[in-house]
Structure formats: C-alpha cells, structure tokens
Chains A and B, each alone.
Chain A
Amino acid sequence: EVQLVESGGGLVQPGGSLRLSCAASGFTFSAVWMSWVRQAPGKGLEWVAHISQDESNKYFVDSVKGRFTISRDNAQNSLFLQMNSLRAEDTAVYYCAKYGAVYGRAHDYWGHGTLVTVSS
C-alpha cells in the first residue's frame, strides 16, 4: 500500500524557516518524480515544486523561487521542502504527492498534508 506521510509543519513567524519531510512507502521511491502541492485555508490547490528521481531536475513556482528548496533522500525514502524567508501568504496545508506512471503527469497518490502557519 502506497503511503506518504508529511511532517514538520507548525507555527512560524514571518521571515522564519521550516523544513517539511515526507516519508514514503509502498512503492519504489527512487524511481519516481515527487512534488509538493499546497492549499491555503479555504482556497484552491497550488503546485509548489517537484524533483526528479536523481535530484538533477528541480522546478519551483515563481512565488517561492529563491526561498524554498526541494530535496530527497532515496536511501531513506524521504522527500523534503526547506522553506526560508516565510511570508504570511505561505500559510497553507502542504501535501507531498507522487507522480504516477500515467499519461498526463498526474499525481496518483497524496499524503494527508501538514499545516504551515506563518504569523506573528
């Protein structure tokens, strides 16, 4: 059974940092691209970033470029999102998601999400 479990969310002050983790199981983690998607309270979904299997390719939405980094540890089946210089508008539930072996580059499995609140 595929499982994605996020952790690391919490309350942080504007300008602060937070590192999110996603523990993966039930599939060959090292074989798939992974991504982070966020959802602000009461709002829609926003794709944030994704990373290739060997970390050679990483892409970010413009609003987080230069502030967020994405990484992975294939030996530990883990995905990470380092978030620096956090702003109030980064407040959201952050989902870890895997890309499936399906046409369309769709996310076939999602974690339950971890809430990040940026507030003083």
Chain B
Amino acid sequence: DIQMTQSPSSLSTSVGDGVTITCRASQTISNYLNWYQQKPGRAPQLLVSGASTLQSGVPSRFSGSGSGTDFTLTISSLQPEDSAIYYCQQGYSVPFTFGPGTKVDIK
C-alpha cells in the first residue's frame, strides 16, 4: 500500500497569512493527488484534484502543486472560514489512502 504523510500535523496562524501544507507519498503517484477540507461535524469537501485542479466554487486563494511523490496545498491569504482539517489522498492505486491530516487553526 502507498503511505501518505503530511506536515505539519497542525498549525496556528493569523488571518491574512499564507499557509503551506506538504503531502508526501511513499512511492510515485504521478499527479493522482487530491486535497480535501473537513470542518467539525461535516463531511469532507474536495478542494483540489489531480494535484493542481481547483474545484468549481473553491476560492482562488487555494492552490495545489507537485507531482511524483511531493505535493503542496497553499492558502495564499488565510480567512477565518479556512479553519479546518486538510487531508491529501492518492488515487493512484488501491487502497486509495489518505494522509493523516493537517489541522489549521486561526490565532
């Protein structure tokens, strides 16, 4: 199975700051990498698919990049509503494993 790791596991930063979350796969996954946002008590929501394609309706302050084994999710200017847990997931080979998540808090 492909193992996914994320860093940091959590962060706390101010509104308006930039945030970068890293996701690493244990083997190459091309760009079969997706990012989800989950708020407390809610289902996950797809933000980015195929490493860099922003989903319709997702604010442009979110962006994804990377290929192979190393990927990043960037929030250019953090907003209060971005407080959530962010998960990466590989869609390269089954089982489609998720990363452990990165919790983003607002100071």
Contacts and interface: CB of A to CB of B under 8 A. Distances in A.
A94 to B, nearest CB: 11
On chain A, which size bracket covers the interface?
20 to 34
A44 B87 contact: yes
Contacts of A35: 96
Contact of A46 (B32, B33, B43, B98): B98
Interface in B47-62: 49-51, 53, 55
Contact of A108 (B55, B89, B97, B100): B55
B91 A106 contact: yes
Nearest to B29: A104
Interface stretch (A8-16, A66-74, A81-89, A110-118): A110-118
Nearest to B92: A105
Given A44-B100, A45-B87, A47-B89, A107 B94 contact: no
22 contacts: A44-B87, A44-B100, A44-B101, A45-B38, A45-B87, A45-B98, A46-B98, A47-B95, A50-B96, A60-B95, A95-B43, A95-B44, A102-B50, A103-B50, A104-B33, A104-B91, A106-B46, A106-B50, A106-B91, A110-B45, A111-B43, A113-B43
